[in-house]
Amino acid sequence: MMISVIVPNHNGSATIGTCLHSLFSSRYQDFEVIVVDDCSSDSSIAIIRQFPCRLIRLEQNGGASKARNTGARESRGDVLFFIDADCVVQEDTLARVAEAYRNAPHSVTGGSYTPVAHDDGFYSTFQSIFINYSELRNPAPDYIASHAMVIGKLVFEKSGGFAEDFMPILEDVEFSHRLKSAGVRLSMDSAILVRHIFHFTLTKSLRNAVKKSKYWTGYSLGNSDLTNDSGTASRELKFNVASSCMSWILLLCYLISRESFFLFCMLIVTTLNIISSRGLLHAFFRAKGWPFGIRAALYYCVVYPLPIVAGGISGTLFYFQSRRAAL
């Protein structure tokens, strides 16, 4: 069967060459690569033209959804495999995609990131482990991420494709929810892995958490499913955020009152959070050992919740402003 690999690109010159090189190093033979350039202003086009892929150029910036839909319309394959321009496939990834499609041609199958990021810095690999664990822990997921999505072309065409008038991110979540409502089965396959290029620093990690939290909150409020267990927006993460906020409040109370009772309560809250997060914390230690695991656990439990709270507040305001504007 032919696999059509669809890659949306917008100013991805830093990563698109690595992405395409990995695809054309695949051991699987029957595939095409369609890169849809979303009106890039960098050197992306010159890089893309170095590879034997089909290049489609959009004259106006329309977003990732429009790029993916355009690539799907122009594809010739039986199965579509959506990845991003900052994803690096492994030699057997496309073979795994073909196998997943053969086993469930009417379902949508998702893969995830490798635990260790392509650029193996602390913040990049922290994010990669977090996403890998969050997406693969449930074999019947709430959504399939578009960084590794396997879907039959007929199923995709029947679905109507990605919403082109949606938020700047989370279009794959909305698409997945729409598919589930139509009775399409979603599943995860831990054998389908791509290595992601994050280039995260502390600042970029925090900004990403704020952005994701903002739009997750706004979308979830609109769906009335804010407390749902949904991939990276898991109940574990939500409990971690609540526990962290409570711990900071208890610490402040102790500093003001000097009552050891508040430290005791803080210890209980922290212990419960560690128990709740034990699966992810174990994934940190398993992937990179004790020095990384301890640092990642502290970052996840103490620092990472703060930008998520900031994004949640922003997303709540965004949601109510959008509702007011619609009235």
Query: Distances in Å between the alpha carbon of 211 and those of 129, 179, 240, 262, 312?
Result: 19, 25, 18, 33, 9
pLDDT band at 322; cut points 50, 70, 90: confident
C-alpha–C-alpha distance, residues 65 and 84, integer Å: 12
Phi, psi of 199, deg, nearest 5: 55, 40
Please say if the pLDDT value at position 90 is more than 80: yes
What is the structure's pLDDT at 1?
Answer: 87
Cβ atoms < 10 Å from Cβ of 147: 19
Q: What 8-state DSSP symbol labels residue 25?
A: T
Three-class DSSP category at 79:
strand
Tens digit of each residue's pLDDT (9 = 90 or more) over 93-127: 999 999 999 999 999 999 999 999 999 999 999 99
Position of tokens 């989370």?
Answer: 170
Please say if the pLDDT value at position 327 is more than 80: no
Tens digit of each residue's pLDDT (9 = 90 or more) over 2-22: 999 999 999 999 999 999 999
Structural domains of the chain sorted by starting position, each given as residue range(s) with its CATH number in brackets? 3-200 (3.90.550.10), 235-326 (no CATH)
User: Helix 122-136 crosses helix 202-223 at what angle (to 10 degrees)?
Assistant: 30
Q: Model's pTM, two decimal places? A: 0.95
Angle, vertex CA 271, rays to CA 266 and CA 277, nearest 5: 125
Tens digit of each residue's pLDDT (9 = 90 or more) over 38-55: 999 999 999 999 999 999
Contact 317, 305 (CB under 8 A): no
Residue 40 Cα to chain centre, angstroms: 22
What is the structure's pLDDT at 158?
Answer: 96
What is the structure's pLDDT at 5?
Answer: 98
**Burial status of residue 165 (CB atoms within 10 A of its CB: 0-12, 13-18, 19 or more):** exposed
What is the structure's pLDDT at 139?
Answer: 85
Rounded average pLDDT over 137-163: 96
What is the structure's pLDDT at 262?
Answer: 97
- The dihedral sign for the CA sequence 144, 300, 215, 19: negative
What is the structure's pLDDT at 256?
Answer: 97
Contact 301, 273 (CB under 8 A): yes
Contacts of 280 (CB under 8 A, 6+ apart): 129, 130, 133, 134, 236, 300
Measured torsion, CA atoms of residues 156, 157, 159, 161, in degrees rounded to the nearest 10: 80
Percentage above 70 pLDDT, the chain? 100
Tens digit of each residue's pLDDT (9 = 90 or more) over 257-294: 999 999 999 999 999 999 999 999 999 999 999 999 99
**Burial status of residue 173 (CB atoms within 10 A of its CB: 0-12, 13-18, 19 or more):** buried
C-alpha–C-alpha distance, residues 300 and 291, integer Å: 14
Please say if the pLDDT value at position 215 is more than 90: yes
Give the containing element (helix H, strand E) for 322: helix 305-326
